[in-house]
Structures are given as C-alpha cells and as structure tokens.
Amino acid sequence: MTCDATFRFVHCVAKWPGSVHDSRVFRESSLVRLFETGVRTGLILGDSGYGLKKYLMVPYLTPRTRAEEKFNTSLCRTRVTIEQAFGILKRRFPCLQVGKVQPDRVCATVIACVILHNLGIDKRDIVDPPPVNRRLMDEVALPDAGRRTEGKTV
C-alpha cells in the first residue's frame, strides 16, 4: 500500500500471499507501470528493502556523511506516515487483526476496509490532516544508485 500525507491510501494490492516480499509486490504492481511510463509523476518514499528509482527514494544503507544521515532521518520521519496509516486502518477495522477473517475472504476484506477508510478521510470522520512540515533539511544528499543514475539524479 501507498498513502499520501493525509493517511489516505492511494494504491493497494491485496492479492499476494504474506510470504511475498513487499518489494516484489511493488515491482509487479500497476503503480510501478504508471511511474515507469510517466503517466504518474512524483516521489514515493520506501524503506531499505526497495531499490532506488527516479520515483522511489530509499535510505542510505551505510550513511558516510552528516548529509546522508540527515537524509535518512528526514526520509524516516516522513515515511512513518504509512505506518501511522496502517495503525489508523487497523484500529478502525479490528477485523484486519490476524486470524479474524477467513483466508478466502482476506483480500476482499482488506480492499473494502481501505475503501471505507478513504471515504472516512474524505468525510473527515477519521483523522484531521496532519500539519505540513515546510522546513527543508540543509545539505541533503541522495543515495548512490550504482549504475542506475536516474534515481541519484532526482
């Protein structure tokens, strides 16, 4: 799943079994195709389990400078929004707790809960939008992308 700064889910894939790594689900999602073809623009923040792309920012695995450490800190502080969105979703819909839904109904239940969650946000009955932090970090450096330079360039 991906969400925006208001905890609204903007993409959800609920068809893979739990043992599939998040990065594979993402790599094979329609969201990646939208970014790769330029239909969708912007940036996605990911954790260290994802590969750097021109539209996907990830932390440095071993930051070497203060600027890289600041980048990682800033990325983590912003990326926590998705974890908070998951918490809001699970509190709102206790049926999403492990073992509460029959396996053959899990995918449909997750999608239904995400849709209802987004409707709740649209109707302002879940959470108020968080304050926007307009302060920018100085000396932010981007991770080394190796041979693939489009992510480093962004």
List, for residues 34-58, the tens digit of each pLDDT value.
Answer: 999 999 999 999 999 999 999 999 9
**136 or 147, which is more confident?**
147
Q: Report the mean per-residue pLDDT for the chain.
A: 84
Could you tell me the pLDDT band of residue 20, with boundaries at 50, 70 and 90?
confident
Across 27-41, 93-107, 134-148, the highest mean pLDDT is recorded for 27-41
Q: What is the pTM of this model?
A: 0.76
Element (H, E) at 45: strand 44-45
Output the CA torsion sign for 48, 52, 56, 60: positive
